[in-house]
Amino acid sequence: MRFRRAIRTSSVVIVLVAIATISSVGGQSAATATPPFSSRAAIYQTFGKLYHVTPVLDSRGGEWVLVGRQPYGQNGLTVLIFHLVDARWIAVDNTYFKKNQVGNFDNGYKYSLNELSLASLTGSDNPDVVVRTTGADYGWFSVISDVGGKWHTVRFDYATKPTIAIDAFGVQGHFVIAETDTCEFSCAGGPVTYAWYRFNGSMFVPTQPPSTPALCTPRLLTSVVRSDGANDVTLNHVDCQDGWAVGAGDGKNGPATGVFEQIKSKWVELAFNDSGKADDPYKHSSIAGYYGFAIPYSLTVQLCHGVGETAKWVIAAPMSKTAYQTYLKHGLFPT
């Protein structure tokens, strides 16, 4: 049994409404020629019949209105950002997301309440704009920010390569909590794993969870594996970073390697391969369709290198249902 990242596709239908803006590239922001408005009501009068228009959002003494539209019949998502400057609502950004960068967007109904919001994630003087849409077993999540002086979508080191659109649980403080549904048991039943992300000045990267770092020793992680029933496994080498760990050692069938995640200052086993056999992901058509951890592949490779193994050992590892139940009981948030 192997991790295979679920391929989730949503029937996302959108059309670009004709508005007086400069064209933008998919997932990229562009300057806008939309004329200023005198009030939020005036914005709504222009866009409200077709677009979702948020209430006035307050952030750091400034006022903002976010406008989003996914019209029926086409693909993608348009997001406009209005800022109140000298009693005039100025459109400071117009971003268009391609169909493979968003899920389903509700245009003005009660379900639209959390689809466009403000957050403080990058340290920019202006608030960051969070865009959330939904798909089958997937919570699409993107961030638009003017960090660095120009509005743009911000990348995440997520899954197998950097991207502007991820599956995420949400925001806590200055952190983004990413998630991945491996669909190993079933896409409805998961398992879902999580990873904490912070902005490093150029992109969002994995980071230590907001709790006391867990000790990183072969003896401790061996005890975690044995508590799941693998009593003949001994880990000799471990490497830990950003709330994740990889351990390598020996089991009854030969080499054994596993991946662990820190939850509330404790290590929880996510998957373990003590079969003595590794799998080569590069023999598959695409590693993106095969890799399913919330930990990005770049960090997996780094941790595996730290214990003298290759990532193919971890990718071939099945997740234990017993271990996953323990994972759920620990809960995600620090106390």
Show pLDDT as tens, one digit a residue, over the chain (335 residues).
Answer: 233 333 333 322 222 333 333 334 456 565 567 889 999 999 999 998 888 899 999 998 899 999 998 866 567 899 999 999 999 999 999 999 998 899 888 765 555 568 999 999 999 999 999 999 988 778 899 999 999 999 999 999 998 889 999 999 999 999 999 988 777 666 776 677 889 999 999 999 999 998 889 999 999 999 999 987 888 999 999 999 999 999 999 998 889 998 998 888 889 888 888 887 776 544 444 555 555 678 888 998 999 999 998 887 776 666 666 666 666 666 666 54
Instruction: Specify the pLDDT at position 182.
Output: 72
Domain span at 24: 1-114
Answer whether residue 6 is part of any domain: yes
Answer whether residue 126 is part of any domain: no
- Other C-beta atoms closer than 10 Å to the C-beta of 157 total 21
| Separation between Cα atoms, residue 116 and residue 130, nearest integer Å | 6
Instruction: Specify the pLDDT at position 230.
Output: 81
Answer whether residue 282 is part of any domain: yes
Answer whether residue 16 is part of any domain: yes
Answer whether residue 141 is part of any domain: no
Contacts of 61 (CB under 8 A, 6+ apart): none
| Separation between Cα atoms, residue 130 and residue 70, nearest integer Å | 16
Q: CA dist 333 to 7, 106, 235, 267, Å?
A: 27, 29, 28, 14
Name the E strands within 108-153: 116-119, 128-135, 138-145, 152-153
Answer whether residue 35 is part of any domain: yes
Domain C-terminal end among 114, 136, 162:
114
Answer whether residue 88 is part of any domain: yes
Domain C-terminal end among 114, 149, 183:
114
Domain C-terminal end among 80, 114, 148:
114
| Separation between Cα atoms, residue 153 and residue 142, nearest integer Å | 7
Instruction: Specify the pLDDT at position 323.
Output: 63
| Separation between Cα atoms, residue 96 and residue 78, nearest integer Å | 4
Answer whether residue 266 is part of any domain: yes
**What's the sign of the alpha-carbon dihedral 101, 106, 107, 110?**
negative
What is the number of structural domains in the chain?
2
